[in-house]
Amino acid sequence: MASQFMMINPPSSETALTAQGADAPRIAFVSLGCPKALVDSEQIISRLRAEGYELTKSYDGAAAVIVNTCGFLDSAKAESLEAIGAAQAANGKIIVTGCMGAEPEGISTRFPDLFRITGPQDFDSVMQAVHAAAPRPHDAKFDLIPAQGVKLTPRHYAYLKISEGCNNRCSFCIIPKLRGDLASRPAAEILREAEKLVAAGVRELLVISQDTSAYGLDLRYSESMFGDRVVKAKFIDLIRELGALGVWVRLHYVYPYPHVDEAIELMAQGLVLPYLDIPFQHASKEVLRAMKRPGDQEKTLERIRKWRTICPELAIRSTFIVGFPGETDEDFAILLDWLEAAKLDRVGAFKYEPVEGAAANSLGRAFVPAEIQDLRYRRFMERAQTISAKKLKEKIGRRLQVIIDVGGREAVGRSKADAPEIDGKVFVASRRPLRTGEIVTVKIERANAYDLYGTAA
Ligand code: SF4
């Protein structure tokens, strides 16, 4: 599921803003939503650049404005509608795409004059709409697009989307309605993209999907040719291949299925980062049942303990929902106890939002009043903060590998336990200026609840 929201408005990529020529039509782009939506934006921008369109920061004077929307929560929908409204106030040709495009009536009732509304991942329709707004430049003779495509993340890390859609039916989530069932990409296609990214200087690959551990199920683990060898569309095979590329590989949105144990072995061997992002969502059996999620958190605790024996460095990040319909004080107490027992390294939480169309709204379970949701959210985050502070304190005195996100003598980076945007940072003092993307050893001297401080060794 989506766990963060980012907005790129206007496009921040230098590549995307490179001027091509005075006559090229200019397109403005707004991207909202999670890393998966960001990857979609990168694909559309790559196609625009490949066809010779120029990107502009300004709506005014743009031949069209593309708004890639997020429809995961009502708050995200509201943000998307606001972005559409702002774009329409300045420009007559608005092309809406992304998750909200799956239900176009919700948008067209409010904005009847939009130029085009297309569904998520319907890149062909987006490009057709762009062609209708501003004919393709005739003379796109420049090599406008790098081999790895346009990336909206800094050059040293990149999101790698391995599948789209989801076969699960969590009752609070409408992603399968918006994006359909699991559709995995062939392994060779993913590996070719990963290879290009690494060749272009990417030092960290962030593997994303809706359910990473289900990768390849829909393809029945089919084989494809990567160079001179056959590769299988299977979770463990894919990450082993990615690990062999020699860069940091970080796994997001993994379910604790038994076959994930094999991935922990690869982490212990140093082939992929000892990091797992598992959205547990809750710990109470009752709530998990109502959420339609696997319900045995006792077994999961055992599994986590086993993982940590195999790979003591393992960092686990997770997200939870507090105030799910029918959540009692007892359910919430179970959640807090479980959190304490699992000692997760990084934790985020959402207050339950009754997203339109989600099955959880009509389960007949009473909605938790907003003030109780707020209270539980605060208590949950306080508990998570105490655990995090304790775990980070244990790192004082250790030497950690840190990837530098912001270079200089006062640099900012992340350890293997920190994903960009969602986890903590490592603040690094250094005698020589550190370069962005460089991986350095840092002696940790200080910690607070979320971040570490140290000196480059
Ligand atoms: S796993 Fe559940 S929460 Fe995540 S996308 Fe699939 S249905 Fe939604």
What's 281's DSSP letter? B
Question: How far is residue 67's CA from residue 423's CA, in Å, rounded to a whole number?
Answer: 27
The count of C-alpha atoms lying within 13 angstroms of the C-alpha of 79, restricted to the half-sphere facing its C-beta, is 19
For ligand 1, pick from 73, 167, 184, 210 the residue to mutate: most ligand atoms within 8 Å of CB: 210
24 closest CA partner among 77, 58, 62 = 62
Confidence of residue 13 (pLDDT cuts 50, 70, 90): very low
Tokens of 243: 């690990």
Domain identity same for 82 and 165: no
Domain identity same for 165 and 255: yes
Contact 246, 198 (CB under 8 A): yes
Confidence of residue 212 (pLDDT cuts 50, 70, 90): very high
Whether residue 99 is contained in a domain is answered as: yes
User: How many domains does the chain fold into?
Assistant: 3
More confident residue, 415 or 259: 415
- Give the Å distance between the CA of 166 and the centre of ligand 1: 6
CATH number of the domain that residue 242 is part of: 3.80.30.20
The residue from 362, 393, 424 where one domain ends is: 393
Question: How far is residue 307's CA from residue 315's CA, in Å, rounded to a whole number?
Answer: 10
**DSSP-H helix ranges across 285-347:** 285-291, 297-310, 329-342
Tokens of 336: 């807090």
Contact 150, 17 (CB under 8 A): no
Whether residue 145 is contained in a domain is answered as: no
CATH number of the domain that residue 122 is part of: 3.40.50.12160
Domain identity same for 218 and 246: yes
Question: How far is residue 6's CA from residue 456's CA, in Å, rounded to a whole number?
Answer: 30
Strands 94-98 and 64-69, sheet pairing: parallel
Residues with CB under 6 Å of ligand 1 are 1, 166, 168-170, 173, 175-176, 210-211
Domain identity same for 91 and 214: no
Whether residue 1 is contained in a domain is answered as: no
Contact 25, 71 (CB under 8 A): no
Residue with CA nearest ligand 1 atom 1: 168
Is residue 170 marked as binding?
yes
Residues 239-264 have a mean pLDDT of 94
Tokens of 147: 């081999």
Question: How far is residue 24's CA from residue 37's CA, in Å, rounded to a whole number?
Answer: 26
- Per-residue pLDDT reduced to its tens digit, 150-202: 777 788 999 999 999 999 999 999 889 888 999 999 999 999 999 999 998 99
Q: What pLDDT shows up at residue 10?
A: 38
Domain identity same for 91 and 163: no
- Give the Å distance between the CA of 338 and the centre of ligand 1: 21
Range of the domain at 431: 399-456
Where does 34-107 show beta strands of DSSP type E?
54-56, 64-69, 94-98
Q: What pLDDT shows up at residue 34?
A: 84
- In this model, does residue 267 exceed pLDDT 80? yes
- Give the Å distance between the CA of 2 and the centre of ligand 1: 9
Chain centroid to CA 309:
28
347 closest CA partner among 294, 257, 276, 295 = 276
Tokens of 221: 């683990």
Q: Which residues pair with 7 in a beta bridge?
A: 32
For ligand 1, pick from 4, 166, 172, 257 the residue to mutate: most ligand atoms within 8 Å of CB: 166
Q: Indicate which atom in ligand 1 lies nearest the CA of residue 166.
A: 6
For ligand 1, pick from 73, 162, 168 the residue to mutate: most ligand atoms within 8 Å of CB: 168
Is residue 311 marked as binding?
no
CA-to-CA separations, 180 to 157, 176, 210, 246, in angstroms, rounded: 28, 5, 11, 33
What's 135's DSSP letter? P
Long-range contacts of 414-419 (CB under 8 A, 24+ apart): 415/442, 415/452, 416/248, 416/273, 416/274, 416/275, 416/313, 416/315, 417/274, 417/275, 417/315, 417/345, 417/346, 418/315, 418/346, 419/206, 419/250, 419/252, 419/275, 419/277, 419/317
The residue from 393, 409, 434 where one domain ends is: 393
Is residue 70 marked as binding?
yes
Q: What pLDDT shows up at residue 258?
A: 84
